[in-house]
């Protein structure tokens, strides 16, 4: 007798031939039912796949939505109630824009007297030295 991975004996070859013949004689009805069973199994396999597959397919959209939500939440919590947020570096620029937009301020600039301000500054320095 041969062991499993050795060449088959004559008896084993004959037995295999008879078994294969019996398989080839399986009737059409049984073959049809086996075919139907196979199709059902394939449908079950592919019906199962979309559950995890679709989650991977939707992952980029879900990630983008989560990131957008996170950014929104962070900005919401950092913003104080009342006035809109103004960064420190932007404050002076905002004041300059206010001055330029103010019509009276422009009128003052037109009547700019530089010599008066120089005299006033000199007076202030002189007072400081006499006090010291």
Partner 1 sequence: MPAALLGDVDVDPSAQTRSRALNQFLAGVELKAFKIAQAALRHEDDALDAVQDAMLQLARAYADRPAEEWKPLFYRILENRIRDMQRRRTVRGRVIAWLPFRGEDEDEEADPIAQAPSAEPQPLKRLEIDEAMGALEKALGELPRRQQQAFLLRSLEGLDVAETAAAMGCSEGSVKTHYFRAVQALRAQLGDLV
Instruction: Please list every residue from 5 through 64 that binds partner 1, using CB under 8 A.
Output: 5, 9, 11-12, 14-16, 18-31, 33-35, 37-50, 53
Q: Is 1 one of the binding residues for partner 1 (CB under 8 A)?
A: yes
Shortest approach of partner 1 to residue 45 CB, angstroms? 4
Query: Which residue lies nearer to partner 1 by CB, 49 or 91?
Result: 49
The angle formed by the CA atoms of residues 74, 78 and 79, to the nearest 5 degrees, is 120
Query: Which residue lies nearer to partner 1 by CB, 61 or 81?
Result: 61
Give the three-class secondary structure for 7: coil
CB 9 within 8 A of CB 1: yes
CB 2 within 8 A of CB 8: yes
Query: Which residue lies nearer to partner 1 by CB, 16 or 91?
Result: 16
Shortest approach of partner 1 to residue 85 CB, angstroms? 47
Dmax of the chain from CA atoms?
132
CB 9 within 8 A of CB 2: yes
Q: Two tokens at 109?
A: 């600039």
Give me the residues that bind partner 1 (CB under 8 A), please: 1, 3-5, 9, 11-12, 14-16, 18-31, 33-35, 37-50, 53
């Amino acid at each position: 007798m041969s062991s499993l991975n050795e060449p088959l004996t004559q008896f084993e070859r004959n037995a295999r031939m008879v078994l294969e013949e019996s398989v080839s004689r399986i009737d059409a009805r049984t073959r049809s039912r086996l075919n139907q069973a196979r199709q059902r199994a394939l449908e079950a396999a592919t019906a199962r796949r979309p559950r995890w597959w679709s989650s991977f397919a939707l992952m980029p959209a879900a990630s983008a939505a989560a990131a957008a939500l996170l950014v929104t939440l962070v900005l919401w919590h950092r913003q104080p109630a009342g006035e809109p947020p103004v960064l420190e570096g932007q404050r002076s620029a905002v004041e300059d824009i206010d001055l330029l937009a103010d019509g009276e301020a422009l009128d003052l600039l037109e009547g700019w007297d530089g010599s008066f301000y120089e005299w006033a500054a000199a007076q202030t320095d002189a007072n400081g030295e006499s006090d010291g």
